[in-house]
């Protein structure tokens, strides 16, 4: 299990989930760095994180979508499915809310499905060293708060498909379509679809629109900055490198996939309905005469 104890209810949810799984005959392991936190919980074993991921059958992330994203890279490299228990706010990738832990019995009985998700890879050079990162949600190239707007030239197989001035550009998977890309005006995409969504952040253009590109697209992004400005490459919410004028980022499909476990059934569409649509519906109903 991988808990994020910064989330409200996470400690209690982790303990309850562990008790249910242990009661059903499963072995529950947690990173040894949490030994002092869960020392009073009998039956839990504490392991080195790398060894635990390599030897487990399922990774359970207790927290929010960020917790699942943090687990996703290692899970994908080891071919391990991930079950998310949401103690955060939206929790689009989580199968269960922290109030639904009784449904973990389905996990023990094998009564669940898996949603296979495509991932992306970003490659670029920093000071002559080639860098490569894997993303489950999105790859964002954007200016920092103290820098000027930048110019981006986006090409596919050497042919320019977009040339614009903007605060940034977003390349997301279908999984990441409900994250930053949606806030930037992109569409919601069924998460099992294999494609690359290309969106702009505050483009200085009347005609900038989101594009849906084929999953096998080989995309090149050239950055032009001014007056010592720079842009950041952000992978799933984390700034990983700073780029300057003339630098290029290559975005392609990753060789890795990740399986997200769905216990509740139709978790994605339930999340869209309940967490995006219902607040609006509730407001309309309250304002109706």
247 is catalytic: no
Instruction: Quote the DSSP letter at residue 88.
Output: S
**Distance between CA 148 and CA 257 in Å, rounded?**
36
Tally the C-alpha atoms within 13 A of residue 58's C-alpha that lie toward its C-beta: 22
Which tokens is 129 given? Answer: 């060293």
Catalytic member of 6, 57, 65, 236: 65
CB atoms within 10 A of CB 9: 17
Which tokens is 206 given? Answer: 């009347």
DSSP 115-152: EEEEEEEEEEEETTEEEEEEESSEEEEEE-TTS--EEE
Q: Are 192 and 116 in contact (CB under 8 A)?
A: yes
Q: Are 73 and 51 in contact (CB under 8 A)?
A: no
Q: Show which residues are catalytic.
A: 65
């Amino acid at each position: 299990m991988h808990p994020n104890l910064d989330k409200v209810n996470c400690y209690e949810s982790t303990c309850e989930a562990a008790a249910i799984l242990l009661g059903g005959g499963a072995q529950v392991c947690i990173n040894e760095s949490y030994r002092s936190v869960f020392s009073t919980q009998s039956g839990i074993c504490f392991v080195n994180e790398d060894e635990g991921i390599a030897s487990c059958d399922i990774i359970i992330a207790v927290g929010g979508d960020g917790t699942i994203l943090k687990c996703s890279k290692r899970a994908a490299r080891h071919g391990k499915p991930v079950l998310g228990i949401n103690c955060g706010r939206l929790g689009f990738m989580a199968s269960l809310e922290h109030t639904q832990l009784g449904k973990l019995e389905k996990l023990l009985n094998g009564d669940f499905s898996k949603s296979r998700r495509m991932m992306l890879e970003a490659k670029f050079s920093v000071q002559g060293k080639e860098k490569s990162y894997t993303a489950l949600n999105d790859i964002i190239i954007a200016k920092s708060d103290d820098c000027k707007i930048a110019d981006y030239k986006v090409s596919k197989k050497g042919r320019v498909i977009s040339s614009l001035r903007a605060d940034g550009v977003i390349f997301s998977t279908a999984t990441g379509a409900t994250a930053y890309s949606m806030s930037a005006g992109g569409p919601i995409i069924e998460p099992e679809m294999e494609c690359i969504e290309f969106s702009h952040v505050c483009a200085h253009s009347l005609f900038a629109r989101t594009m849906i590109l084929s999953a096998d697209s080989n995309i090149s992004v050239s950055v032009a900055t001014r007056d010592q400005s720079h842009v950041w490459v952000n992978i799933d919410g984390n700034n990983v490198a700073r780029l300057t004028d003339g630098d290029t980022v290559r975005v392609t499909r990753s060789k890795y996939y990740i399986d997200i476990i769905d216990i509740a059934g139709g978790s994605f569409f339930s999340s869209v309905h309940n967490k995006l649509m219902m607040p609006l519906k509730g407001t309309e109903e309250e304002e109706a005469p």
